[in-house]
Amino acid sequence: MTQGPYIDAGAELDPVHPVELPRPARATGLTTAEVAERVANGEVNDVPVRSSRSTADIVRANVFTRFNAIIGVLWLIMLFVAPVQDSLFGYVIIANTGIGIIQEHRAKKTLDGLAVIGEAKPTVRRDGTADEVSTSDLVLGDLIELGPGDKVVVDGETVEAEGLEIDESLLTGEADPVHKKPGDPMMSGSFVVAGGGAFTATRVGREAYAAQLADEASRFTLVHSELRSGISTILKYVTWMMVPTAAGLIISQLVHERHDLKDSIARTVGGITPMIPEGLVLLTSIAFAIGVIRLGRKQCLVQELPAIEGLARVDVVCLDKTGTLTEGGMNVTGHRLLGGADETYVRQVLGAFGASDPRPNASLQAVVDAYPDTSGWRCTRALPFSSARKYSGAAFGEADGETSAWLLGAPDVLLPEGDPALREVGRLNEEGLRVLLLARAAGSIDDADGGPGDTDEGDGDGPDRGAGTGEGTGAGTDHDPVTAGAHPTALVVLEQRLRPEAADTLAYFADQNVAAKVISGDNAVSVGAVAAKLGLDGATDTVDARQLPADREAMAASLDSHSVFGRVSPQQKRDMVAALQSRGHTVAMTGDGVNDVLALKDADIGVSMGSGSEATRAVAQIVLLNNSFATLPSVVAEGRRVIGNVTRVATLFLVKTVYSVLLAILVSCFQIEYPFLPRHLTMLSTLTIGIPAFFLALAPNKERAKPHFVRRVLRYSIPCGTIAAVATFVAYMIARHYYVGAGSLDAETSVATLTLFLVSMWVLAIIARPYTWWRVCLVLAMAGAFLLVMVVPALQHFFALKLVGAPMPWLGVAIAAVASGGIELVWRWVDRRYPG
């Protein structure tokens, strides 16, 4: 085969005068008056698309909780039997609940605002004119146009179909696309993988049951959250411990002590309330909400809050090349004539081919821009691109009356192995260029089988559509009657623009030990060349996915040992995600094309570009509205902040729960007065947990996310809480024997409070590490506030605290110092024993 010269795409040729040909009539859709009539009759698509729960749901979730109910009852009791000081814990709960509602409502407003930006806007034909409208503005009987990647938003009936292939897998589980012809039903929640057309809306709003199912599946299926499930587990354990412990405490205080009834009730309540980690759920919600707000400012839509946490736990991220590592647009840099083809004729064919698709993708748009249609040819048959075929086709009635059929697609699929042109294709691929082959079909293009569709030309990894590949190892000519005998005419060379931020983002993931896998439908060599320019390790050792074994374990081994994969089919993408997960990896998948949908759905975290298809945006947990791959590190950082900080504050809260339960048990066993009133523990909780936890939960934290949240928290909190309880009880018992006489209980309580505060402060000092200036100031401020209470007479009276004499207070300090040393040793031992 003779190769022609390399022709610049911008070279000018004499135009050929177009011949005006009649176009078939098409439906005009509803009139403005008919739309107004349907709106008046309520025949509108009134199902709201929400990105977050409603305000009423937020209020209910923050107010009507199990522990709020317990604390509310105890608070009402204290309002009747004790001074206002002992009811402070109730006001703290009210303030905390209010803060939680406000913060989550702020996050809701951020999410809803971003959701409007990223909302799918279907194209509706009214009065013969096509315009984009909001989904909620659709009415019954609207004529809705469809193109590659569009989601079917309401139920309907097909009116126009041009090679229209619909993927209904999210509804039916059937992976093969369905070919649609006029009269066929359309199911809401499905999406277009190839071709185009239009359908009439027959069921809208809540009547479109399939739409509700699809929306439920794609938007409200919760990401697994280890924090959420871990905290639920902790609260369940706490509830189990509280019931018998509280019963024993009530019996010991009201029956055995037989002191003043009101004082006994107050001390009973004082023993029960600190067992409840009431602020833990609040601070977790606030941490997530603040993360959503921060990411929202960077045009990142988090459709499910725990997705922030999920991405922080990811150790493998699978990336599309086009649209992720490269920018969406492409440029045709030129073409190479094959087999002595005529330059003018090739330009006419390419121009006509571009004009044959009313909604060209990025690859074909580049052809359209480089080769304007001046042929005047009539397109008689169009074959949309399919990931299984790896090519598209068109048949024309030429101006001179001749007919011809043409194919445009991947050279290594359309050409047989060993074809001389493949050597030139390989050389161009090594430079990171994309190459499409224009070939004249020997027969009819009507014989093409409909495989899983996609929407990108040739190499199949378009910025808006994802990747795909033909099956088998040989060229399509061996198995496909359409490509059999196809005559190669020209190679069209396209250049992609690298995203300027992609190299830094890949470097970030490498630094964080997150493996990046580039999974593309492009030629593997071309993908590797692009990845190498961005500094990805192992970019030159590429794998053609058509050679991958079907066995999951063998595929997982190949995925672990390689970083770049080309010619990947949509089903293979899904299989690759499953193979990685089978080896215990937490997988994030980025994509913007319709053939990424199933892989995005199966991945632990799905990330879609804002410019991607409606279908991918619908199933992804995170949508990058600014289309910037560089936003992902910010999402990872937010997730790590949430996980690391919630782990910190959870340890604080659980230490309090452990020492409260153990103190109650010890008091019940020894049948003595409970050492604290509610006011004492409210002050201690506020200074050593409440205020510090609020700041620590929102602080920056770049620590890598670690698994087993509950196990790690309990490893620290149980021994530390036990030491704190024993130290406090010992100091209290010694003080009971030291102070004798009327009014001694306040002195005993003061020593116990001092001891417990100092031990708790040491726990706080450990959790505040590594120290920064503001963390040191925070710890010192809490210590200063306690000192103020102990030295100011009015505050001493308010909190019923007064240190009597010198020996016992100093003994309390000594006991606290020994206990703090024990906590330090335990903490370091746990760190060494369980580094992960």
Residues annotated as catalytic (active site), given as ranges: 320
Which secondary-structure segment (H or E) carries 186?
strand 185-186
Q: Which is it for strands 515-519 and 316-319: parallel, antiparallel or unpaired? A: parallel
- Strand-pair partners of 572: none
CA dihedral 224, 227, 233, 236 (to 10 degrees): -120
Residues recorded for the chain:
836
515-545 burial code (b ≥16 CB/10 A, e <16): bbbbbbbbbbbbbbbbbbebebebbeebbbb
Q: Which residues contact 786 (CB under 8 A, 6 or more apart)?
A: 683, 687, 757
Tokens of 349: 């064919």
Contacts 24+ apart (CB under 8 A), 570-573: 570/387, 570/452, 570/454, 570/466, 570/467, 570/468, 570/595, 570/596, 570/598, 570/599, 571/175, 571/452, 571/598, 572/469, 572/545, 572/548, 573/318, 573/466, 573/467, 573/519, 573/598, 573/599
Tokens of 385: 């691109």
Nearest to 290 by CA among 116, 159, 478, 105: 105
Tokens of 644: 């690391």
N-term to C-term CA, the chain: 61
Q: Which value, in Å, is the radius of gyration of the alpha carbons in the chain?
A: 34
Q: Which residue's entry shows tokens 């040992």? A: 561
Which secondary-structure segment (H or E) carries 203?
strand 191-203
715-748 burial code (b ≥16 CB/10 A, e <16): bbbbbbbbbbbbbbbbbbbbbbebbeeeeebebb
Which secondary-structure segment (H or E) carries 392?
strand 391-397
- Strand-pair partners of 391: 386, 409
Residue 143 in contact with residue 186, Cβ under 8 Å?
A: no
